[in-house]
Structure 1
């Protein structure tokens, strides 16, 4: 649904400016408490440095699918921005999943 997505540039900028960032070799995660909502909103950014459109879209789909399957374990009320690093190119679903779950744990937003 649209209300669960970060879409506008201004929304991304708020998370970049006010949120905290955590990173590993594949991904960068920005988290910001959105306050007014009792649900999470996700934004995914994959730059052209990662690859051509097919590679970027595959990477984006892997990140979104990992989030979708693990969203019930994540604390509510956050705006999340996931940025793919160039190392994320051609990685398997399992590698992306492990990387993203690691970031959620380190950010302290993962429920057991």
Structure 2
């Protein structure tokens, strides 16, 4: 994932947490904030140590990044997203994580109708 598509700074995370909206299902929590001046979305990922060791956490982050890349054409561009993984994601494969991510984005009305 390109650097331009990532949220890295704590201030950016805090802004999305404080001023944004959220939606959750059993596996993922999605925070999102509309930014008028950007031409593409940006994502920040958070996977707690409670979910597993570093290998498991990195695998989950890799799966979520890949799912965003595959859904890139359908996601509305003017948003910053923060995805927080919950406990069940430790046992999920890529397709289950992608389906869960699609569900959260769909329920939040963040998928375009393309």
Name the TM-score class by shorter chain.
over 0.9
Separation in structure 1 between the aligned mates of residue 31 and residue 90 of structure 2, nearest angstrom:
20
Report the TM-score when normalising by structure 2: 0.95
User: 1:70-91: per-residue Cα shift (whole Å, max 9, x none)?
Assistant: 0110111100010000111120
Separation in structure 2 between the aligned mates of residue 54 and residue 79 of structure 1, nearest angstrom:
26
Q: Which residue of 2 aligns with 1:31?
A: 32
Question: Where do 5+ consecutive residues of structure 1 fail to align?
Answer: none
* 1:49 partnered with 2:88: no
Q: What is the CA RMSD across the aligned residues, in angstroms?
A: 0.8
Report the TM-score when normalising by structure 1: 0.96
Separation in structure 1 between the aligned mates of residue 83 and residue 32 of structure 2, nearest angstrom:
9
Q: CA deviation at 1:106?
A: 0.8
Question: Where do 5+ consecutive residues of structure 2 fail to align?
Answer: none
Q: What is the 5 A alignment of 1:1-112? A: 1-112=2-113
Q: What count of residue pairs does the alignment treat as equivalent?
A: 112
